Homo-oligomer: A and B are copies of this chain.
């Protein structure tokens, strides 16, 4: 077999896979954060265009991908599926390890897979500008790219501490034409209030969400865009898993286990959800979400209704959560520092359709270094969690002396995260454990919902 399985552009999926009809039960309602009443499509209209609201609750199993979206996907899709032979040899494992590599997108991660259709549907709806928040910048840069491709303006509220410490992603957003504000900013009521209370406020993702939502609500021509958690985001990301299945078929293989890192769920859902359909059809395949043990939403959280954001302005959804005001330690995998999880992933996990595993930071970097020294590619710190999970599966196969087919998602490259590798290689990397007491306290502050 070749090192990579490549598909032609004609094999870019024509439809996204919607897992909703294959869920083990009905979707839980989404609640208004103020009234605690179920949200209606009308409630979402000021923020999202109609097709995205429809996708949020559609029961169609296959949703056509608009041709202008596939046109932009062609700039980097289909992405390669690699057989990690050099890693297998280094581990001395009888397992066959495959990885699907999303770092070839212009933004360096899987995030543009949803940014592009979101920009497209908004353009179609006559919207002129999108507002969003970003932490370290993976989502903000992807949305900037997508808006540029469809001639939309883009405003990004970037958590101030990242804006100052990680200027590279900020410059990338500006290169793609976005306007970037350090959050808290003077542009919104929420930002001004935060600055008045504390001019040195370093910002948080929750606050940046508040600013972006306020911006969108205040301007007729502006909508809001979110890069994870929501059903339509996971839907768009299924191009990853659909391609991977096609590529494995071309390689004559099928996975025993599929692993991907999990923050809000967009990367894990993108790779794993298309395999849920196979499980529904009776196929045996384990689906494992890999998360940081310092932010152990799926492994230590509870399945309950909770706010999507710290500021309690976002809708309340039923999901695995650590509590909306749980503040995870500052690990390098910034994309995995979210207190909640995708409702779709949560429901499947609660029903026993998925597994979840948590890994501390240092073993993940150890796995990432092993990977970089065998396969070459420098992995994003987020992706290193999936590598850690895959290596442990491969080692177990070796101990058991059994074949095993492992597929994992390499969601992005880490060339902009070299400071984190520097800290690891020089022994300066902290290994946070999950703060048990903080977690107990934050879980006590869950909203009391009875439906």
Contact = CB atoms under 8 A, between A and B. Distances in A.
A255 to B, nearest CB: 22
A415 B415 contact: yes
Interface residues of chain A: helix, strand, loop or mixed (majority): helix
A176 B8 contact: no
Nearest to A72: B376
B6 A2 contact: no
Contact of A378 (B10, B175, B377, B378): B175
A338 B375 CA distance: 32
Contact of A418 (B86, B167, B418): B167
Contact of A4 (B3, B74, B168, B369): B74
A74 B2 contact: yes
Interface residues of A, number: 42
Interface string A414-451: 01101101100100000000000000000000000000
A130 to B, nearest CB: 16
A218 to B, nearest CB: 27
Interface in A312-327: none
Contacts of A418: 167-169, 171-172, 175
Contacts of A169: 418
A245 B62 CA distance: 40
Contacts of A10: 2
A373 interface: yes
Contacts of A168: 415-416, 418-419
A225 interface: no
A149 interface: yes
A10 B1 CA distance: 11
B425 A175 contact: yes
Contact of A375 (B75, B372, B377): B75
Interface of A: 2-4, 6, 8-10, 71, 74-76, 86, 104-106, 108, 145, 148-149, 167-169, 171-172, 174-177, 369, 372-373, 375-378, 415-416, 418-419, 421-422, 425
Which 3 pairs from chain A and chain B are nearest by CB?
A106-B376, A171-B418, A3-B74
Given A75-B377, A415-B415, 5 more contacts: A4-B9, A149-B376, A168-B418, A176-B373, A415-B416
